[in-house]
Amino acid sequence: MDDAMDCTNARLQISALLDGDLPAPSLNAHLSSCAACSRALARGRALGASLAALPVSRPGPAFDAAILAALAAAPRRSPTPRFVRSAAWASALWTAASFWAASRLIGEAPGPASFTARAGVLLGRACADAHMAAVLAGLFAPSPRAGGEFLAASLLAAVLFFTIALPSRPHTRTIGARS
Amino acid sequence: MPATPPTDAELARRCLDGGADGYALLLERHKGRVYSFLLRLVGDAADAEDLAQTAFLKAFRSLDSYDPSRPFLSWLFGIAHHAGLDFLRARRPRELALDDADAPLDLPDESSGPEAEVESALQAELVERLLRSLPAPYREVLLLRHAEDMSVEQAAAVLSLPVGTVKVRLFRAREMMRARWESVSGEKKFETRKDRRP
């Protein structure tokens, strides 16, 4: 079985070994009898060590200044003040909370309700839950881009609520109204 | 107790929040490695410096798209890799040919190399020359894997290539380097098992 490994296969295995894979038992057997492949393994290791030891060069002294000047001339974006962003997220959270509470006020009509009406209530609540979850996730998103994606998801949930769930609701309880 | 230096992700966050010192710290931390990678990729100091500046500016201007759960340096190397390849594609497309295994070797004539010492590390100058003789796609997989000590998976992420493709390139790159090293030291290129048997 071990003799089945020829030098070409052994070189492939040696490369895999140098990339951190475990050596196949047949490779060890081959190496013990093949000086050329043993040398290839030694050379591969020496090559890796030599590449790892290559010196790190430094760019010229004006390198940093050129980049920082270019950034200052055309900034990535005008950073939004922290209080503006905080206020924006607070309002998003307040809207989501109101939206969620409103969805709970959608009650079922007295008497037997149709399947569509029940589904409308459930879908409305699910949309409100998804909206709230997306806003909360956006608040704790690791990057502004991820935050934007969560905000888009919350808008989608709101659109679903108003276009599908709300029109099919059977009855909306208004605050102060008697049933 | 000394304060822990901020992580790359924290510095990136600081930049996004408008802190200008974050850029300077990220530059100071990574410019040497990015510049060295590009210098070995394109082979010219002025071009490498221009490309490194392009890569840093592009990275800093698109920090929004950086995922802080991933290593910042891998993300940065991905941008540098694309900048380097775009440059070579426009200026020296022949260097991107993957079947360019017989490219002329720019090696010194003197026989001062480490001929007999198989186990010893190569001299840095010889490694640089051997590396320069490889097509750029093979050069960069070796650099990422060994000079940057990345795993095959990390290198694949930087190069936007499947892991299998990176493994194949690493294999071919090592075979080319070994063959060229042996040609410099006057050894046989490849000795099959069949040849050794009586």
Residue A73 — pLDDT band, cuts 50, 70, 90?
confident
* Any A CB within 8 A of B110 CB: no
Does any CB of chain B come closer than 8 Å to the CB of residue A36? yes
Give the C-alpha separation, A119 to A77, whole Å.
45
Structure tokens at B138: 């093979």
Q: What per-residue confidence (pLDDT) applies to B72?
A: 93
Average pLDDT over residues B144-165: 94
Give the separation between CA A22 and CA A160, rounded to whole angstroms: 52
pLDDT band at A80 (very low <50, low <70, confident <90, very high): low
Residue contact B170–A36, C-beta within 8 A: no
Checking if the pLDDT of A175 tops 80, the result is no
Least confident of A34-43, A58-67, A113-122: A113-122
Cβ-contact A9, A34 below 8 angstroms = no
Residue ranges with strand state E in chain B:
none
B130, B122 Cβ separation under 8 angstroms: yes
Residues forming a β-bridge with A107: A171
Alpha carbons A138 and A143: distance in angstroms, whole number: 9
- Tell me, what's the pLDDT at A166? 65
**Among A18, A76, A83, A150, which would you mutate to test the B interface (most chain B Cβ atoms within 10 Å of its Cβ)?**
A76
Cα–Cα distance list, B77 to A83, B83, B134 (Å)? 34, 10, 20
**Confidence band, pLDDT 50/70/90 cuts, at residue A174:** very low
Give me the amino acid identity at A135.
Answer: V
Rounded average pLDDT over B45-61: 94
Q: How many CA atoms lie within 13 A of B175 on its CB side?
A: 21
Q: How far is A157 from chain B (nearest CA, A)?
A: 24
Q: How confident is the model at residue A167 (pLDDT cuts 50, 70, 90)?
A: low
User: Residue B96 in contact with residue B89, Cβ under 8 Å?
Assistant: yes
The confidence band for A124, taking pLDDT boundaries of 50, 70 and 90, is confident
Decide if B153 contacts B82 (C-beta within 8 A): no
Name the residue of chain A whose CA is nearest to B167's CA: A16
pLDDT at B155 over 50: yes
Mean pLDDT of B68-77: 92
Q: Per the CB < 8 Å rule, is B181 touching A43?
A: yes
- Burial classification of residue B100, based on how many CB atoms lie within 10 Å of its CB (0-12 exposed, 13-18 middle, 19 or more buried): middle
Nearest to A15 by CA among B126, B123, B178, B188: B178
User: Do residues B152 and A48 make contact, with C-beta atoms less than 8 angstroms apart?
Assistant: no
What single letter denotes the amino acid at residue A118? R
* Continuous H helices in chain A: 7-18, 25-33, 35-52, 63-73, 82-105, 115-139, 144-160
Report residue A75's pLDDT band, with 50, 70 and 90 as the boundaries.
low
Question: How confident is the model at residue B77, as a pLDDT?
Answer: 96
Tokens 């030291």 belong to residue = B185
Q: What pLDDT is recorded for position B74?
A: 93
Q: Please state the φ and ψ torsions of residue A116, each to the nearest 5 degrees.
A: -60, -40
Q: How far is CA A172 from CA A105, A107, A177, B151, in A?
A: 7, 6, 10, 59
DSSP conformation class of B14: H
Contact list, A52 vs chain B (CB under 8 Å):
146-147, 149
Backbone φ and ψ for B96, nearest 5 degrees, come out as -95, -5
Whether the Cβ atoms of residue B1 and residue B15 lie closer than 8 Å to each other: no
Segment among A58-67, A95-104, A109-118, B174-183 with least mean pLDDT: A109-118
Q: Span B82-101, mean pLDDT?
A: 79
